[in-house]
């Protein structure tokens, strides 16, 4: 795990008026619940309107993000956990999830904060979940990225 080079939030952002949907998978609930808590903390601090929806797994994040944008969301925060196993399933799900979320963001012209953890083992997820003892808070980082990008897009579009 490398947090080297990660940006620091230099200033508090004001996302008042932005409508954000957090979409989270249900696998590995301790890790996922930590990711959700981090995302919600950032969205609340920025005064963004938000709601949480759950999907069965990471593969389903993209279609739910697409529906969120169709329903008027300004940004999505996608949170999931994919842990490597002994079969190629990890590579297929990781690639499909990443490609799907990228496509949804580009098609909508709106940001998807990418908080999908692709891990070799559960401990790596615990280290990134933003829970007590974690080294990183990827849920918070994904929400921050989604908000900042939504505000940039709003500025660019006038």
Catalytically active residues are 89
Fill in the DSSP letter of residue 137.
B
How would you list the strands of the sheet with 49-55, edge to edge?
49-55, 19-25, 75-83, 112-119
Whose CA is closest to 146, among 58, 19, 59?
A: 19
- Residues 16 and 148 sit within 8 Å (Cβ to Cβ): no
Alpha-carbon 30 to chain mean position: 16
Q: How far is CA 118 from CA 24, 32, 49, 67, in A?
A: 14, 12, 28, 24
């Amino acid at each position: 795990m490398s947090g080297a080079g990660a940006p620091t939030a230099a200033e508090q952002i004001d996302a008042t008026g932005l409508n954000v949907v957090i979409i989270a998978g249900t696998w590995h609930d301790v890790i996922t619940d930590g990711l959700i808590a981090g995302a919600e903390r950032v969205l609340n601090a920025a005064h963004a309107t938000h709601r949480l929806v759950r999907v069965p797994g990471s593969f389903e994040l993209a279609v739910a993000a697409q529906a969120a944008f169709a329903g008027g969301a300004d940004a999505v925060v996608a949170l999931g956990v994919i842990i490597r196993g002994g079969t190629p399933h990890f590579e297929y799900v990781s690639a499909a999830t990443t490609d799907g979320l990228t496509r949804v963001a580009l098609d909508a012209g709106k940001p998807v904060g990418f908080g999908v953890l692709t891990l070799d083992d559960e401990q790596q997820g615990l280290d990134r979940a933003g829970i007590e003892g974690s080294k990183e808070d990827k849920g918070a980082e994904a929400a921050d990225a989604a908000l900042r990008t939504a505000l940039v897009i709003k500025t660019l579009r006038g």
